[in-house]
Amino acid sequence: MRKKIVAGNWKMNKTFSEAEGLLFDIADLLSESRPKDVEVVVCPPAIYLELASDIAQQNDFSCGAQNLSQYDPGAYTGELSAEMVKSAGVKYVILGHSERRTYFGENDEIIAAKISQALKHDIIPIYCCGEVLQEREENRHFDVVAEQVNKALCHFANHEIRQVVIAYEPVWAIGTGKTATPAQAQEMHAYIRSLISRHYGQETAEEMSILYGGSCNPGNAAEIFEQPDVDGGLIGGASLKADDFVKIINSFKK
Ligand code: PGA
């Protein structure tokens, strides 16, 4: 059985006291109601990882980072190694996010090196892929996602790929309020699963969790999560409000 996951990506938001408040609010709301079979992950900015992983541990959710270095520890000013991130109690890391690709020049080679670091230190990578609007309009979205998946993932061994979570995030849907339709999400998720199946066999493909991300909110999450190949969500804006985030988690019905 593949795992159902809802992860909140806070991006570069919240002061220390706001972050603490949001973590406790999420914990409180989760204690009132939550589906037992959904893993909840909160990915705050790196400076709050230790705080978040402490609160997460006490409240039955998990903590994820938004980035880590592709290098082993050493003279890399400003960077965080996978080892350091792991030692803060982190279980997941978001890698390959379109904002990192666009604003920080991360390409699939760099992302692949980061995934290697995560795997080496027993951190579960949430690998993000997805096309921009023009690529979809030109009907190239399947090719673009296939290239991203092939380049960043498909050189890993079967036992390694089984540790990875994939997030399909059409770039035109991120932070725009424009969500993929449930049918568009299902179509791409099934395609990604077929790519994994081609490289690693059907059993591995069936075990992989593939999350949808891009303007998910309490009003549209249920319909998207209902799709057979959608195993949860990567939530940006709506994860900054405890109420909305927990409503999204609770919209998991299958
Ligand atoms: P959004 O962001 O939910 O605000 O669209 C999703 C993401 O970037 O992971």
- 95's enclosing H/E stretch is strand 92-95
How close is the Cα of 236 to the center of ligand 1, in Å?
A: 3
pLDDT of residue 1: 78
Q: What is the pTM of this model?
A: 0.97
- 39's enclosing H/E stretch is strand 38-43
Residue 254 scores a pLDDT above 70: no
Running DSSP on this structure, what letter comes out for residue 45? -
Which of 5, 10, 234, 245 most suits a substitution to test ligand 1, by most atoms within 8 Å of the C-beta? Answer: 234
Binding-site residues, ligand 1, Cβ < 6 A = 9, 169, 174-175, 213-216, 234-238
What is the per-residue pLDDT across 50-71, written as a single tens digit (0 to 9) for each? 999 999 999 999 999 999 999 9
How close is the Cα of 93 to the center of ligand 1, in Å?
A: 15
Q: What angle do CA 116, 162, 210 make, to 5 degrees?
A: 100
Pick from 12, 15, 7, 118: nearest CA to 72:
118
Q: Which domains can be identified in the chain, with CATH numbers?
A: 4-253 (3.20.20.70)
